[in-house]
Chain A
């Protein structure tokens, strides 16, 4: 398995780990983090592609794409976090549905 394959497979794995987290975790912060993990996965794939021809200098285009992708991800993460923060301050619950509140935890409180 070449170095490229290692990176791209790792990227694919990260992508679906993030996807799983997005689908199964109700907390908004966890969802945002899950999407970040998936983004990292896509960047891994791009970095792997940059090196796919062995023995040459890496291809600059995927590197530029990753840089752009990181900036875009930072921007959307910042915005999503601010949105989550605002939702928490308005509703008291950091989730999309009010039904995701832990009833057991609150029964005692």
Chain B
């Protein structure tokens, strides 16, 4: 039995939410919630098992259908995949616990569970996929479930935000698919392992990479193609916002990294990596400034996501040169994705708690929150520490690695951006958190809009995620080791 699980591990991890989703739909509201909870619980040990196995044995390869690439589709788990699967499962579990309380058993939100389980499964399928066309289908699955979840409340702002998101997502997928078509035309395969060996820089291939990059950049909301993100992430129900900022944007980013650093690496041109870095830097500055100006808490957190995504793109110019800088940039970028996932989900869940109990999320009206809702305020504050990149948080480790990489690569200007970004983040975090703790509560009447909700589980889940982001800074070494397992040649310090 144990060997069977080990042999089938990648398929099992993907199948758990994908089996739960139709069951949740078919069996209706009463069974949707327990099905979702059980699925979340089952996923945990499987993801941990995957991480341990990958650490011990290196890359896992699973040939779906028994054919093996390039004829069939492979599921591949190296260190990067195992990391992303782990973070997806952990965030997913806490968001599930939160959602059980947040949505309750109300009929009108009954579609949350099948949609959420489909989103979960699609993300996992995406991270495991070793086939670029399969990635297209996974991208569509992820986008469609995310859009449906954004519009769940049927409020008009949410619907309009969902429409904008849907149009942007479809366009991004189309650009990506065009690139896949060109790659197949040029090289005759869509399997990543095959492509790794035969890819070379010719006209069609470079055009394909450019197209795929544009599509994925749109889906990852990199400045200036970020326009759809703030309304979508702020108007979605809070557990959905958490997953969108923490995981969904990381999905398309993951594919970008796979293409640029791993599979299509010989085709990567340094000029474009620098452009990506510049756009990332602009995102950091601009996103933070916009966050500071917001009046509503959820919009502030959404713009903070726009800024934090910028850090991820600093990875690209620092990786192209190889060497120690590349290794540090790789570790820093991925670690940032993970710690941001934990911290940002905590922030959105906290904002949701504020909305649920006090009926609004106007920043000016939240003075003294620490007295009315201490756990929520603390969770938000701890998450903010990671955003700012203060030690000993996970955010600090990530930023420090990026700074080290930029100095080693001789591109010290990125380090300046990282530090500036931290200061700007401090500005918008303190704008919110300062009044939480310093002033007397005014204008916060505990309306307790929904007495049926039990806040303890929800607050616990929120706090757990925030503390997790902090713990990453202290206990992060195993994660860094995992990230480096079977890392692409460029960043592993191995001459290809």
Q: Do any CB atoms of chain A lie under 8 A from CB atoms of chain B in the complex?
A: yes
Q: A96 an interface residue at 8 Å Cβ cutoff?
A: yes
Q: Please pick, from B137, B156, B190, the residue contacting A91 in the complex, using a CB distance under 8 A.
A: B156
Q: B154 an interface residue at 8 Å Cβ cutoff?
A: yes
CA of A15 to CA of B181, assembled, Å: 13
Interface pair A86/B144, CB less than 8 Å apart: no
CB distance from B202 to the nearest CB of A (A): 15
Q: Please pick, from B137, B140, B166, B182, the residue contacting A83 in the complex, using a CB distance under 8 A.
A: B166
CA of A32 to CA of B169, assembled, Å: 12
Interface pair A80/B177, CB less than 8 Å apart: no
CA of A73 to CA of B379, assembled, Å: 41
Q: B407 an interface residue at 8 Å Cβ cutoff?
A: no
CA of A79 to CA of B170, assembled, Å: 11
Interface mask (A76-104 → B, CB under 8 Å = 1, otherwise 0):
10011001101100110000100000000
Q: B164 an interface residue at 8 Å Cβ cutoff?
A: yes
Closest to A83 in B: B163
Interface pair A80/B163, CB less than 8 Å apart: yes
Q: A68 an interface residue at 8 Å Cβ cutoff?
A: yes
Interface size class of B (residues with CB under 8 A): 20 to 34
Closest to B156 in A: A90
Interface pair B166/A42, CB less than 8 Å apart: no
CA of A15 to CA of B190, assembled, Å: 22
Given contacts A22-B167, A76-B140, contact A83 B162 (CB under 8 A): yes
Interface pair B144/A84, CB less than 8 Å apart: no
Q: Which residues of B contact A65 (CB under 8 A)?
A: 133, 180-181, 184
Interface pair B185/A96, CB less than 8 Å apart: no
Q: Please pick, from B144, B159, B164, B180, the residue contacting A75 in the complex, using a CB distance under 8 A.
A: B144
Interface pair A76/B166, CB less than 8 Å apart: yes
Given contacts A61-B184, A62-B184, A96-B160, contact A22 B140 (CB under 8 A): no
Interface pair B170/A52, CB less than 8 Å apart: no
Interface pair A46/B167, CB less than 8 Å apart: no
The prevalent SS among residues of B at the interface is helix
Closest to B174 in A: A38
CA of A15 to CA of B174, assembled, Å: 9
Q: Please pick, from B136, B160, B178, B182, the residue contacting A87 in the complex, using a CB distance under 8 A.
A: B160
Interface pair B159/A49, CB less than 8 Å apart: no
Q: Please pick, from A45, A52, A62, the residue contacting B178 in the complex, using a CB distance under 8 A.
A: A45
Interface pair B171/A22, CB less than 8 Å apart: yes
Q: A72 an interface residue at 8 Å Cβ cutoff?
A: yes
CA of A68 to CA of B185, assembled, Å: 18
Interface pair B170/A80, CB less than 8 Å apart: yes
Interface pair A46/B181, CB less than 8 Å apart: yes
Interface pair B163/A84, CB less than 8 Å apart: yes
Closest to A49 in B: B185
CA of A20 to CA of B136, assembled, Å: 23
Q: Which residues of A contact B178 (CB under 8 A)?
A: 15, 42, 45
Q: B148 an interface residue at 8 Å Cβ cutoff?
A: yes
CB distance from A82 to the nearest CB of B (A): 10
Q: Which residues of B contact A19 (CB under 8 A)?
A: 171
Q: B353 an interface residue at 8 Å Cβ cutoff?
A: no
Interface mask (B166-199 → A, CB under 8 Å = 1, otherwise 0):
1100110010011011101100001000000000
CA of A29 to CA of B74, assembled, Å: 38
CB distance from B360 to the nearest CB of A (A): 22
CB distance from B391 to the nearest CB of A (A): 43
CA of A91 to CA of B163, assembled, Å: 13
Interface pair B174/A76, CB less than 8 Å apart: no
Q: Please pick, from B137, B166, B171, B185, the residue contacting A72 in the complex, using a CB distance under 8 A.
A: B137
Q: B151 an interface residue at 8 Å Cβ cutoff?
A: yes
Q: Which 8 A-B pairs have the closest CB atoms?
A: A49-B185, A90-B156, A45-B181, A72-B140, A87-B159, A46-B181, A42-B178, A35-B170
27 A-B pairs within 8 Å (CB atoms) are namely A15-B174, A15-B178, A22-B167, A31-B167, A35-B171, A42-B181, A49-B181, A49-B184, A49-B185, A52-B185, A65-B184, A69-B136, A76-B144, A76-B166, A79-B144, A79-B166, A80-B167, A80-B170, A83-B159, A86-B151, A86-B154, A86-B159, A90-B154, A90-B156, A90-B159, A91-B160, A96-B164
